[in-house]
Amino acid sequence: MFCVKKPRQWIRINRILLDANPEEFFKQTIPHEVAHLVARQIYGRSMKHGPEWRAIMRDCFGLAPDRCHSMDTSISSKRPFVYQCSCMPVKTFSLSSRMHAQIQRRPGSRFCKLCKGALVLSHIEVVEQPKQKMESLFISAGTDGLVDSDLEKVRSIVGKHQIGRLILGPGCAVSKNAERLRKLLRVEEGSCRIHPSESTLPGALTHAVLIACNGNTRASRAAEVLREKGVIVRVLSRQGAPA
C-alpha cells in the first residue's frame, strides 16, 4: 500500500503475502505502488488509478496497468496478537503487527481504558493458510506455440497457486512444451483442455497468461477484452519482461 501522512510518503509491504508471492510482489505489486508514489510527486494528490498512473505503469515499467492482483489475502491476519488487561472478567484485545511491535519496544505503553491496566500478550492466533487457487487459467501463445523460455515465465506468475482448470490455446497445444508446462504447473491431465480456435476466447475464466510474439498485437487486444470481463490477465513479451 502507498501511504501518505504529511510530510511523509512511504510504501507498506505485507510480509506474509510477500513470502507467499515473491514473484507477484517484485514484478507487479511493488511497481504498482511505486507508480502511485511517482504519480503523486509529478501530478499531485488523488491520482489513484487514473490515466497518469496507468501511463507510468506502461511507459516506465512496461507493465499492464492492472488494479487487481491474484494473491489470496485471507492468509494474512490483520490482528493476530491477542492481549489482555486486568479487568474481571478479563477483556481481550486483538492487535495488529504494528501495535504489537510498539508494545515490544515500549512495554506497558498501551492500557485498558476501563481498568487502566497495561495490556499483556496472551497468545498469537494461528491463521490457517488455505491453498491459493486459480480456478480457470487460460494460456495462449498465438500460432507460434510455446518455447522453452515461456515455461519459466509462466511458472513464476503462477507461483504456488493451485490450478483448477487449465485451458491452452491451439498454438500451445501443438507445441512439444505443452505437456512439460502441464506437469510444471502440477495440473492433472483430466483438468487440462485445448481451446479449439485462435479467433475466439474461452469463457468462465478467472486468470489468463497471454504471450505476445514478434510484436503481434493480438495478445494486447485479447487482454483488453478479458479484463473487461473481470479476468486477471498478464501479457508476456517473448523479447522481454511482462508487459
User: What's the confidence (pLDDT) of residue 10?
Assistant: 84
User: What's the confidence (pLDDT) of residue 243?
Assistant: 39
Walk along the chain (243 residues) and give the pLDDT tens digit of each residue.
788 777 888 888 877 677 667 777 788 888 888 988 888 888 876 567 788 888 888 888 888 777 655 555 555 556 788 899 888 887 888 888 888 888 988 888 888 888 888 999 988 876 555 557 889 999 998 777 788 888 888 988 888 788 999 999 988 877 678 889 999 999 999 999 999 988 899 999 999 999 887 666 788 889 999 998 889 898 888 764 443
71 touches 14 (CB < 8 A): no
pLDDT tens figures, 33-42:
898 888 888 8
CATH for the stretch 131-237: 3.40.50.620
How many whole angstroms separate alpha carbon 175 and alpha carbon 147?
8
Q: Tell how far CA 204 is from the center of its chain.
A: 20
User: What's the confidence (pLDDT) of residue 45?
Assistant: 64
The full DSSP string for 126-168 is PPP-PPPEEEEEEEE-GGG---HHHHHHHHHHHTTPEEEEEEE
Q: Tell how far CA 92 is from the center of its chain.
A: 33
Domain-by-domain residue ranges, the chain?
Answer: 2-59, 77-124, 131-237
Adjacency order of strands within the sheet including 81-84: 92-95, 81-84, 120-124
C-alpha cell at 134: 486459480
How many whole angstroms separate alpha carbon 146 and alpha carbon 132?
25
Catalytic (active site) residue 125 = no
DSSP strand pairing (207-212 vs 232-237): parallel
How many whole angstroms separate alpha carbon 63 and alpha carbon 214?
17
How many whole angstroms separate alpha carbon 237 and alpha carbon 44?
32
For the question of whether the overall pTM of this predicted structure is more than 0.95, the answer is no
211 touches 140 (CB < 8 A): yes
The identity of residue 114, as a single letter, is: L
Give kind and range of the element (H or E) at residue 11. Answer: strand 8-11
Adjacency order of strands within the sheet including 232-237: 192-194, 162-168, 133-140, 207-212, 232-237
The residue annotated as part of the active site, out of 23, 33, 188, 228, is: 33
The b/e string for 128-144 (b: 16+ C-beta within 10 A; e otherwise) is eeeebebebbbbbbbeb
Q: Residue 9's beta-bridge partner residues?
A: 4
C-alpha cell at 22: 515473491
82 touches 123 (CB < 8 A): yes
The identity of residue 241, as a single letter, is: A
